[in-house]
Structures are given as C-alpha cells and as structure tokens.
Amino acid sequence: MQLPVDICVLLLSLVAPAVLYAMNNVTKQPVMVLTLGAAVLYIIPYIMSFIILHLLALQHWENIDPLFYVLAVFSFTCLVGLTNALEQDGYISGYMGFYLKKGEPHLSTAYAVMMNYWEGVIHFLLFLIIIHRMFRGKSYRSLALFWAGSSIAHQIVFIPGVVIGKYGSNIHPAFWRNTPFLLLPIWGAILLFSRERELPIIPADKIAVAQKRSLLYRPVDLILSLLLLGAMAFSVFRGVVALDCPLDTCFTYIYQYEPYLKDPVVFPRITMLVYLFYALPLLAAFIYGLRNPGCTWMLDWAIFFAGAIAQTQWCHIGGSLHSRTPFTYRVPTDKWSTVMILNGLYVALPILLAIRCRLSPTFFMPTVPEGQTSPEKKDN
C-alpha cells in the first residue's frame, strides 16, 4: 500500500526533534556543529525524501516538480525551528542548548523565536498543503508564491541583522548554513514567476465593461488605493525613524511608541529599511495596478507581497512584545493599542489586496482590443 506523499513528508519531519536531541549531546566543536547541522538540515532530509518519494509514495515520478524537493527539505527544518522556539519559551529542554552556544546564539533572541514559530506552524502547514495539491494535480501556485515571499523577506532581514547587529562579533561557522535558505526561495520564486499565469476564463464583454470603470466608480479599489498611500507614508516615516532622523516627531515615536526599533539586535531596524527600499516601490506599483486595467502581474505579486509582509510583521510585532526583548525596548503599555492598530493595518492591507485580486481578477485580465466585443465582430 502506497502512502500519500504529504503524509510521508509529515512522518519525515517528525524525526527532526530526535535528531536535534542526539546532535545536542554529541557535538563539541563549532566546525562539527556546522558539519552536523548541514547534514541534519539538508543531506539527511533530502535523501530520506528521495527514498520515501520513489519507494513508498509513487511509481511514476518522471514529471515531479523540482520545487517538491525544496519543500520536503524545508518541511524538516520547520520542525527544527519550532523545536528551538518551544525550548526558548521554556516548554521543552535539552534540544538546542549546545547548538545555541557554538552554532547560532542569535536564535535565542525574541525576533528569532517568533521567526521559528512562523516557520514551524505557517510554513510547515503551507508545505503539506502544497505537496498535497501538487501530487493531486491541483493548483498550488498562489500558496507557493505566498511561501516564497515570506521566506525571502525573512532571510533578507535575518541574515543582515545577524551580521551587523549585536551578534555580528560572535558569528560561528554554522551561521552560513542559512545561505541556502535565502538562495532556494529566490530560485523557487523565479521558477514560479516564469511559469504561465493561471488566468480564469472570463467573457471579453465582461472584461471590457469592468475595465472601462474608473477608480472613482470602484469603491473597494478606491479604498485600497487610499490605504496603500497611507502604508507608503508609514513606510517612509518608520524608515527615516530607523535611520535616526533628528526631527522631534521621529524622536517621540521611537521613544514613546516603538522603542523596539532601538533594540541592538537591529532586526526591527533592518525590517524598517526593507519596507523603505523594497515595500515602498511595490506599494506604489499596486496603486498603479488598481488604477490602470490589464496589469496581470498584480495577481501574482499581490500574493508574494502579502507573504512577505505577513512574515516580517509577525516577527516585528511578536518581537516587540516578547519577554526575551528587554523591557525598555518593548511597546509601552499606554501606547500598546495605537502601535498594534498601526502594525495590524500594515499587515492586513496586503492580505486584503491579495484577496481582492484573487476573488475578482477581471480588471487585471489582459486588455480587450478595441472592437473585439462589438456585434459586428461577433457576427463575423
């Protein structure tokens, strides 16, 4: 009897805590930590997924999406991250102690703990659902794009934050095992974006009517556009705050609202700079896409962007409230509701935009040529 591939991957991933426990009790040198870490995180799960897939799960596997192997390996590492988060919060012990000392001490920070929760829960569920749909011939492009955006955003904050932050002078060889976690999602995103988009079949007449309506007559798009403008302003403001703007407004905000931006681990500061230099141009592009018909790229990029903002905001909000963050850098109690509302809106907006694009893609479909829907054209 053959097992479903997603069940096989789930069983494979459950081995991770046992492997971590053994690794924690046998490694004594930093180089050994890197060697065993690479074996645990890449080689072992790849070999096991290959064996499970080809011997237990499928008989005909010539046309397997290469993205599967990345997801299978990453699903294993998701539970590695979840194990670390649970140990840092005191729910378990004996799994990560030595690795944190001689491998990646920065994984004990509040930001890394929240990052590991996201990986161990959200990414892990995404992987199982994507793999399930992949081997049943169902569409998984949107879920995979959400994962790609989330993973890339995670790494472009995490890796620079470690290098230039508080732990930059205490980097061990094991830190460099994060490199594939940046490169493989980028490869996956390029692979997904290069594939033909899955466009729904919509009558040309309906597309023409929808695309003739101006933004003023599309209240949902108008509201989203205004909110995107607000998000752009908030991105610029927090970006200049992170760059130590001397204005009184910036000084007040960083000390009275989000002192987490001053945390010496610098993950929150890097997050704000990512918003300033990467999210800001995309927000402007989305306003353009909501105003001008036929921007089919909106259907993919909105989902990718939603994944990126959801992951970074989860880590940012969670890190600013977590007990591992020094009290002086946490959100002040009297400003808690204001900060949470602002950050909540910032993460909700991309998700709402992605849902809008997904549920009603007519406006973003390829523009109908002039006269194509006329009665004369139909008669011919």
Task: Summarize the confidence of residues 219-238 as an average pLDDT.
Answer: 97
Span of 189-198, 219-228, 275-284 with lowest mean pLDDT: 189-198
Task: Count CA atoms closer than 13 A to 352's CA, side-chain side.
Answer: 13
Q: Is 207 within 8 Å of 296 (Cβ atoms)?
A: no
Closest CA to 101 of 153, 156, 160, 174: 174
- Res 34 pLDDT > 70: no
Phi-psi map region of 150: left, alpha, beta (phi>0 left; psi -120 to 50 alpha) = alpha
- pLDDT tens for 310-348 read 999 999 999 999 999 999 999 999 999 999 999 999 999
**What does the pLDDT read at residue 369?**
66
Task: Summarize the confidence of residues 9-33 as an average pLDDT.
Answer: 61
**What does the pLDDT read at residue 380?**
42
- Res 162 pLDDT > 90: yes
Question: 3-state DSSP helix/strand/coil percent for the chain, to nearest 5?
Answer: 75, 0, 25
Q: How confident is the model at residue 95 (pLDDT cuts 50, 70, 90)?
A: confident
Task: Summarize the confidence of residues 347-376 as an average pLDDT.
Answer: 82
| Percent of the chain at pLDDT exceeding 70 | 81
Task: Summarize the confidence of residues 19-33 as an average pLDDT.
Answer: 58
* C-alpha distances out from residue 249 to 164, 213, 228, 331, Å: 27, 40, 22, 17
- Res 28 pLDDT > 60: no
Q: How confident is the model at residue 41 (pLDDT cuts 50, 70, 90)?
A: low
Task: Summarize the confidence of residues 212-221 as an average pLDDT.
Answer: 92
| Amino acid at site 149 | G
**What does the pLDDT read at residue 375?**
47
**What does the pLDDT read at residue 180?**
85
Closest CA to 227 of 352, 364, 83: 352
**What does the pLDDT read at residue 354?**
97
**What does the pLDDT read at residue 77?**
82
Phi-psi map region of 367: left, alpha, beta (phi>0 left; psi -120 to 50 alpha) = beta
Averaged pLDDT of the chain: 85
**Quick one: tokens of 60?**
């005909």
Query: Could you tell me which residues come within 8 angstroms of residue 176 by beta carbon, excluding any fewer than 6 positions away?
Result: 34
- Res 40 pLDDT > 60: no
